[in-house]
Homo-oligomer: A and B are copies of this chain.
Amino acid sequence: MRPSQRQAHQLRPIHITRGFTKHAEGSVLIEFGDTRVLCTASVEDTVPGFLRGKGTGWLTAEYGMLPRATHTRGAREAAKGKQSGRTQEIQRLIGRSLRAVVDLEALGERQVIIDCDVLQADGGTRTASITGACVAVHEALDGLVRRGVLAANPMRELVAAVSVGIYDGIPVLDLDYPEDSACDTDMNVVMTASGHFVEVQGTAEGHAFTRAELDALLDLATSGIAELNAIQRDALGLG
C-alpha cells in the first residue's frame, strides 16, 4: 500500500558507514533508503566569543544539500549568497538535538562542529542527519578520550530522529519522498535512547490533525527510534 511496499511501521533499510572521509574527527555516511547524508564532526580548540573563559564547550551544526541531490537541480546556496529559511531551520534543529545529549561542561572549552551534507535526497534528510550526526559526534568524542584529552565521552546517551506522517489515512513511519509529497501531516520526532523527547515538530499544512492521530504518530516514532538506536549502537560497537 505504501509506494515502497513497506509496512506502516517499517523503516527503510538503514546503513551507517563510519570513517567515510579521512580528515574529520568523526565522519559517517548514513543512508535511510536512497537518502544519503555525509555527517562529519570537527573538533576545534576554541569556543564562540560568548563562551570564552567560561569553562564550557559548544556544539553547533551546519546543513547543506548538494545542488543535484534532488530530482531537479536546486540552486547552490553559496552562489545565491544566502542559506534558505529551510536550511537554517534544519541546522538549528540538528544543533539543539545533539546539545541535548552532550555534557558541554565536561567537553571543556572546545567546540564540536557538525556538517551534514546531503549527497542524495529521498525524504527524511533532517532525521537522517540527526541520526548520523550522533554517531559522528560520538566517534569524534571517543577520539578525545583515546588521545587522553577527556577522561570519559561526554555524550550522555544516544539520540536519533525519524519522521512519521499520515499517508492515505494511515499513520506510517519514516516517510520517503513520494510519501512526503503526498502527505498532509508530517511530524519529525527526536528522541533519546532512554525514550525521552528532545524535539517534536508536527505540521499540518493541508489538514489539521486530531489528538488521536498525534498519539498514533508518537507511538510509531517511539518504536522507530528504538530501532535506530540499536543500529547506532551497532555501528559504534557499543555492546
Which A194-239 residues have C-beta < 8 A from chain B?
A: 194-206, 208-211, 214, 218, 222
8 CB-based A-B contacts, threshold 8 Å: A21-B69, A38-B66, A42-B68, A77-B78, A99-B205, A100-B205, A196-B210, A197-B210
Q: Counting CB contacts under 8 A, is A27 at the interface?
A: yes
Q: Which single residue of chain B is at the shortest CB-CB distance from A214?
A: B197
Number of copies: 6
B-chain residues with CB within 8 Å of residue A86 when the two chains form the complex: 92
Q: Which single residue of chain B is at the shortest CB-CB distance from A156?
A: B208
Please give the distance in Å from A183's CB to the nearest CB on chain B.
14
Q: Counting CB contacts under 8 A, is A120 at the interface?
A: yes
Q: CA A206 – CA B196 in complex, angstroms? A: 12
Q: CA A66 – CA B196 in complex, angstroms? A: 33
Whether the Cβ atoms of A73 and B44 lie closer than 8 Å is yes
Main secondary structure of the interface of A (DSSP, over half): mixed
Contacts A77-B78, A89-B89, A214-B218; A199 near B204 (Cβ below 8 A): yes
B-chain residues with CB within 8 Å of residue A120 when the two chains form the complex: 21-23
Q: Which single residue of chain B is at the shortest CB-CB distance from A184?
A: B100
Q: Counting CB contacts under 8 A, is A117 at the interface?
A: yes
B-chain residues with CB within 8 Å of residue A192 when the two chains form the complex: 208
Which A98-141 residues have C-beta < 8 A from chain B?
A: 99-100, 113, 115, 117, 119-121
Top 3 nearest A-B pairs (CB, nearest first) are A196-B208, A85-B88, A77-B78
Q: Counting CB contacts under 8 A, is A96 at the interface?
A: yes
Whether the Cβ atoms of A211 and B204 lie closer than 8 Å is no
Whether the Cβ atoms of A21 and B68 lie closer than 8 Å is yes
